[in-house]
Copies of this chain bind each other. A is one copy, B any other.
Amino acid sequence: MIDSDLPYSGRIVGSEHRFAVRVYYEDTDAGGVVYHARYLGFFERARSDMLPLAGVDYLARMAEDGSTYVVSAADLKYRTPARLGDALTIISTVERIRAAGVVVHQRVMRDADVVVEGRLTVAFVGPDGRPRRQPEAWIRAFEAISGGAEARR
């Protein structure tokens, strides 16, 4: 057992999850900017770490019965490019809570600039891939962090 850090997972401030990311070569392309698909990975990292911080222990549930979250829609606007070495912040807010999923609004910020803005629809599915109702405790957990989010439907 080595003396090492726990992985960084960002933090929840009000209704926002904030998650800092450094841009490495692996994220960039020959245009000198972050490759557009990589932001979906940044968004996944942020959502994956927001969930346990919010009280949604999806990995334990997945181990138990194979249920998990999958992305069912993504709407992305690329505003300004990010570059090698940039320090970015991913800001995620739960925008809508449904019986079988959530809509998460996510922004990539560099200081005050919006780099990318996305709306990610995430569905809770069983091992058969079909949508299923999220645990009631998780819906309450999402409500607790969503602040002014639209009512559940």
Interface range, A side: 35 or more
Task: Contact check, B59 vs A84: say whether CB atoms are below 8 A apart.
Answer: yes
Is A64's beta carbon under 8 Å from chain B? no
A95→B11 CA distance, assembly (Å): 36
In the assembled complex, which residues on chain B have CB atoms less than 8 Å from the CB atom of A37?
A: 26, 37-38, 40-41, 44
A30→B4 CA distance, assembly (Å): 26
Task: Contact check, B4 vs A109: say whether CB atoms are below 8 A apart.
Answer: yes
Q: Least Cβ distance of A49 to chain B in Å? A: 7
A contacts, CB < 8 Å to B: 1-11, 13, 18-22, 24-26, 28-33, 35-38, 40-41, 44-45, 48-49, 59, 68, 70-78, 80-81, 83-85, 87-89, 91, 109, 111-112, 129
Q: Across the A-B interface, give the 8 residue pairs with the lowest CB-CB distance, nearest first.
A: A28-B30, A37-B40, A7-B22, A8-B8, A4-B89, A5-B20, A26-B41, A7-B20
